[in-house]
Amino acid sequence: MKTFSFIHTADRHLDSPFKGISEINEEIIDLCIEKQIDFLLIVGDIYDGSDRSLRAQLRFRDSLKRLSDAGIKAFIVHGNHDPLNGWSANLDWPKNVYIFNGKSMEKVSIEKDGEEIAQLYGISFHNREINTNLTNKFPKISQSKKALFSIGMLHCNVGTNTGHELYAPCTLQDLITRNFDYWALGHVHKKAIINGDNPLVIYPGNPQGLHPKETGARGCFLVNVDENGESTAEFIEVDSIRWFVEELSIDSLYTEQELISKVHTYIEKTRKEAKGHPSICRIILTGRSGMHSSIARKGVLDDILKDIREDEEGEKQFVWIESIEDYTNPEIDRKSLLERKDFIGDLVKLFEEFSHDENKIAELKETLDPLFTSPSGRKLLEPINDEDFLDLLKKTETVCLDKLIGGELS
């Protein structure tokens, strides 16, 4: 058979609240043309809402026109965010575009230079809430009669992925038993190869992170099928902006200058990590130090944010700090805690004894000994040296005090 290749993408969510990047990734269209692929599969949630804007539809149509003019076909199924019963403008779609209906599963034959190369099976969401298992609508291909590479396109939730709405639920086994060669899925925004071979079952994830929680590289899959019908899938990054969330601790920071420098260091680290992509970062400040009260002052974080953003103006590969959130706590004054005549005072005194008195340490170690020597404990725990033991005690004290007085001091 003829070799061929295709690109699989899903979940672009055009018109999503994050307006900054509201066009389909032109990178995907460029990639299709550059790699001279035979067809593009778009597996649902092209638009964020069923009432898609005319502008988003026009831009999407124009992107597909560019693809069509290059002789590349595009096949589309709709998902729960852009079901077919939502409003859509009456537009002339380019001739190489095929949109699957939402009433029944359809089979489409794909040709290359007049020769049939693959069979494509798909169905769109007619309405938003599809709670039935749509895999039942797909045929089971008899392996003996199988001649052509077969692909299933489905927007669905495999194995009840809890991070996403439970629409069109199904199991991996439901998909495997169809005897297809490739399942092009959509719906889950984090890329996942859920079956690596025979068949390949892939969620490409969204090609652009839409909010701070959608961190890391985003892209699509390029699939090559050789003359024996063997397929290989390669992830290719196409996101134009990358999201990051970072926790920075104020432990051991004493001045505003040190805090600002720490954010600058983080920005430079992120610029390197984003490998040429502009990025948007959310910073979460944690830890304890005297800086807590300064950070808590009205306007201080806003001013730091403004100052840092100004420094980024004009940077081509910018690192934009979206927000700085304050989860810091005040420094613990152990000396005054030791003088307290309550449970907290007793607890700090106890930790004080355990970390300085060798006999007490030996006593504590002996108490903990069964944990390390029991048959089940031995499998999980390594023996601890004295230094690590003291370090562990220190951390335990911090955890206890955080829980007991975390709010009391702030």
Cβ proximity to Mn ion, 38 vs 45, nearer residue: 45
Q: Distance (Å, rounded) from C-alpha 107 to C-alpha 100?
A: 9
Which residue number, 164 or 178, has a Cβ lying nearer to Mn ion? 164
Nearer to Mn ion, 80 or 279 (CB): 80
Return d(Cα 179, Cα 159) in angstroms, integer: 19
Alpha carbon 77 to its chain centroid, in Å, reads 22
Query: Exposed/middle/buried for 9, CB within 10 Å: 0-12, 13-18, 19+?
Result: buried
Residue 187 CB, shortest distance to Mn ion, in Å, is 4
Of 45 and 397, which has the nearer Cβ to Mn ion? 45
SS3 content of the chain, % helix, strand, coil (to 5): 35, 25, 40
Report, in Å, the least distance between residue 81 CB and Mn ion: 5
Closest to Mn ion by CB, 15 vs 45, is 45
Residue 141 tokens read as 């291909």
Residue 365, helix vs strand vs coil: helix
Task: Tell me the HSE value of 40 on the side-chain side, using a 13 A CA sphere.
Answer: 29
Least CB distance to Mn ion at residue 185 (A) = 10
Interface residues for Mn ion in 232-291 (CB under 5 A)? Answer: none
Candidates 5, 64, 75, 79: give the one binding Mn ion (CB under 5 A). Answer: 79
Binding segment toward Mn ion, per CB under 5 A, in 187-195, 217-225, 235-243, 348-356: 187-195
| Residue 294 to residue 329: CA distance in whole angstroms | 11
If one counts every other C-beta atom within 10 angstroms of the C-beta of residue 136, the result is: 9
CB of 155 to Mn ion, least distance (A): 6
DSSP one-letter code for 190: S
Interface size with Mn ion, residues (CB under 5 A): 4
Integer Cα distance of 306 and 63 in angstroms: 37
The token pair that represents 171 in the structure block:
């199991």
| Closest CB to Mn ion among residues 150, 157 | 157
**Taking the complex as a whole, how short is the minimal distance between the CB of residue 56 and Mn ion, in angstroms?**
16
Interface characters, 348-377, with Mn ion (x: CB under 5 A): ------------------------------
Residue 101 phi, psi (nearest 5): -80, 175
Provide the mask over 143-182, with x wherever binding to Mn ion is found by CB under 5 A and - wherever it is not: ----------------------------------------
Report if residue 187 touches Mn ion, rule: CB under 5 A.
yes
Whole-number Å distance between alpha carbons of 409 and 108: 67
Of the candidates 25, 63, 80, 157, which one interacts with Mn ion according to CB under 5 A?
80
The smaller minimum CB distance to Mn ion, of residues 80 and 231, is found at 80
* Residue 45 touching Mn ion (CB under 5 A): yes
CB 403 within 8 A of CB 329: no
Residue 118 φ/ψ, nearest 5 degrees: -155, 160
Site string for Mn ion, 206-225 (x = CB under 5 A): --------------------
Among 44-52, 101-109, 249-257, 333-341, the segment contacting Mn ion (CB under 5 A): 44-52
Binding site for Mn ion (CB under 5 A): 45, 79-80, 187
